[in-house]
A and B are shown apart, each in its own frame.
Chain A
Amino acid sequence: MVERYVMSIDQGTMSTRCILFDHQGRLVSVGQREHEQYFARPGWAEHDPTEIWSHLRRVVVPRALEGAGIRPEQIAAIGIANQRETTVVWDRRTGVPVGHAITWQDTRTSGYVEELRRTTGDDFFLERCGLSPTTYFSAPRLRWLFDHVDGLRERAGRGEVLFGTMESWLIWNLTGGPDGGLHLTDATNASRTMLMNIRSLTWDDELLAYFDVPRAMLPEIRSSAERYGTARALLPDVPICAALGDQQAALFGQTCFAPGEAKCTYGTGSFLLVNTGTELVRSRHGLLTTVGYKVGGEPTVYALEGPIAVTGSLVQWFRDRLGLIHSAPEIETLARGVEDNGGCYIVPAFSGLFAPHWRSDARGVIVGLTSYITKGHLARAVLEATGWQTREVVDAVNADSPRPLRQLKVDGGMTSNNLLMQFLADVLDMPVVRPMVSETVSLGAAYAAGLASGYWPDLEGLRRNWHRAAQWMPTMDPARREAEYESWRRAVERSLGWAGP
């Protein structure tokens, strides 16, 4: 019998990956390609959806197939994970996007968001979608497009243009595009739009009316793991069986299936999610309530989430904008050249601060500069910023939850940085554990798809695939930890309000 595999597609902020996994959940091959980042104005951040689809089709999927030396018939199922909240609108007839996709990092809607918080208040939104308004979510962006693209609202009302996040865009194209493409999303992605009712998992009439979004343009909300249909382009007849937001996919890939289990993924930003079971928990400490996953007809599993906007992207900024390193991992080499941060702290509030502060008026600061500071100290401060931002979110989780975290499961590109992982264990004062697949986003999408297609029988089987690849134990002196945390807090205070109200 020929060996069969599950394919995951991870459409991320920086790049798109396609990874094939075997029956034991082991990585077999990878295809990856970065796409262009468009920063047309301060605060804007866009992607070209056509470029992303074309990379997937021409480069990313073919490379993964080639690397494994297999044919499409050997793929049991496709699962898709994606950057969340990023808003794509396209013409149903031609398949041409209306402008670029507006990404989750884009803050152009900040004025509008402030206004609706002032006039309507958070509760109206919290009760319905579990989120308070920020520039992070999709609905304000859709509203912005209606207000700035002539005739778009009318065309949307007539169903001539479609809305979706990246998974919707890719699934629509994979299943035929203008020629009968399926227009759907899953509950995890829909839970980030501010348009879905968090309890019923359906589009919420009052929210649609509030943002003036016509139903005709919206994708159908499906579960995260079920057979949606088969691909036509690129991978003919292969079933597409899962879609999840990348962070929820990572929760699934880390097999955090029980309430209280948590993971943090370290990529462009970092995102800590805690499974809260079928219970919908409202945070009192700055975390979001979100759909964790929904497998077929089974009850919805919810999660609390602490998103951190800038972590890996700070390293990228250090590399590309300051030019102090050639590759992201080199930051560890530079940072190890010095003993400590030399008293220097960087708060990377490039687009405000996300959890647990939620301050759109914060901007980045570097404090504690003296003539003693070298680029090595700055490199330390860059890495430490990720550690302290995680600490703040973990503190919020522990304040909200009856079950305090005892260890942190981590994944993502930054987990190859040993200095950072040790620092993380030190500031959290708990073990930090990396599983044997650090591409956990992809693994989670594969798991969900494999589950829906019968490639894997059940969640317990998936759990047995999880193994510890590395572990870092805390070693920092408690007094030093407290003193450093205090300095970090004071640095954060200085970042607040910099951009004005």
Chain B
Amino acid sequence: MAGPVQSIERAAAILRLLAQGSGRLSLGEVAASLGLAKGTAHGILRTLQSVDFVEQDKATGKYQLGAALLHLGTSYLDINELRSRSINWTDALAARSGEAVRLGVPLEGKVLIVHHVFRPDDTFQTLDVGSLLPLHASALGKILLAYGTTPLEPLMESALENYTRYTLDSPQQLSRALAEIRDTGWAFSAQEMMMGEAGVAAPIRGQGGLVVGAVGISGAMDRLCDTKGRPLGSLVGLTRDAARAISRDLGAARW
């Protein structure tokens, strides 16, 4: 087994140091207190600053704990910012796939739709931003469950609501589906909420790879799927490309 990672230990020490006393320290003070070279301390502080765990006062240049540390358990990405940062890529996904695009984040055991792009056929459609979808019966929701963006346990403890005969309504079925999503990197739902409707979704990752939401297309089964009821590879590819582009914009390095 690998030993402890030194830079993480040092980062933890810096956070503990800032949490003590007045909590505002200069780079020199941090370095001296922990016996680190200034360059090393600076590198760690900069990284902590980039994830909002540390803030630097503009006037004095001193460091203090960041606001994000106080809200570690809640989503750190504002939903309106998520929409704003995604809009170029969700537009392009709708234009390329010919289907409606939605972006979802967890809210109280459901998927909250935070962004919606119309199917590009200029028919009358209404925005459903703010509406809720079931986690276990939508492609967006299954992404959020599969990657731990929202906890699975509460869902498993209560009965899974049945929408159609295709809804995954047993914990075993759902667990298996989620494991498969983690393997393939994308989710699919076929008539699980409404007959004739299908959806494909992929994870949106923020800094460090944490999944902060899901983006997906949805539409008629016969447009999204082949004759065997499997989603068209091209549409899966487009959805995953869009998710990766958004993730890159949010600062996820590898995706």
Contacts and interface: CB of A to CB of B under 8 A. Distances in A.
B127 A467 contact: no
B78 to A, nearest CB: 5
Interface residues of A, number: 28
A28 B88 CA distance: 9
Contacts of B120: 436, 467-469
Contacts of A91: none
B205 interface: no
Interface residues of B, number: 24
B96 A330 contact: no
Nearest to B129: A418
B91 A469 contact: yes
A418 B87 contact: no
Nearest to B248: A67
The winner among A329, A439, A469, A472 for most chain B CB atoms within 10 A is A469
A329 B122 contact: no
B92 A26 contact: yes
B79 A437 contact: no
Given A332-B80, A413-B84, A470-B116, 13 more contacts: A26-B95, A28-B92, A329-B78, A418-B83, A436-B94, A436-B117, A438-B87, A438-B88, A438-B91, A467-B120, A469-B94, A470-B127, A471-B127
A27 interface: yes
B118 interface: yes
A467 B98 CA distance: 11
Given A438-B91, A469-B94, A330 B81 contact: yes
A469 B118 contact: yes
Contacts of A27: 88-89, 91-92
Nearest to B93: A26
A213 interface: no
Contacts of A416: 80, 83-84, 87
Nearest to A29: B245
A327 B81 contact: yes
A311 to B, nearest CB: 15
B192 to A, nearest CB: 26
A329 B127 CA distance: 18
A437 B91 contact: yes
A26 B127 contact: no
Nearest to A26: B95
A398 interface: no
A417 B88 contact: no
Interface string A465-485: 001111110000000000000
A208 interface: no
A406 to B, nearest CB: 16
Nearest to B90: A469
Interface in A290-334: 326-333
A468 B95 contact: no
A468 B83 CA distance: 17
Nearest to B100: A469
A94 interface: no
A24 interface: yes
A36 to B, nearest CB: 15
Interface string B211-235: 0000000000000000000000000
Contacts of B81: 327, 329-330
Contacts of A331: 80
A331 B129 CA distance: 17
B84 A328 contact: yes
B122 A467 contact: yes
Interface string B163-186: 000000000000000000000000
Contacts of B96: 26
Contacts of B121: 467
A469 B95 CA distance: 9
Interface string A11-31: 000000000000011111010
A438 B125 CA distance: 18
Interface in B60-114: 78-81, 83-84, 87-89, 91-92, 94-96
A423 to B, nearest CB: 14
Contacts of A418: 83, 127, 129
23 contacts: A24-B95, A27-B89, A30-B88, A327-B84, A329-B83, A330-B78, A330-B80, A333-B78, A416-B80, A416-B84, A416-B87, A417-B84, A418-B129, A467-B95, A467-B118, A468-B118, A468-B120, A468-B122, A469-B117, A469-B118, A469-B120, A470-B116, A471-B126
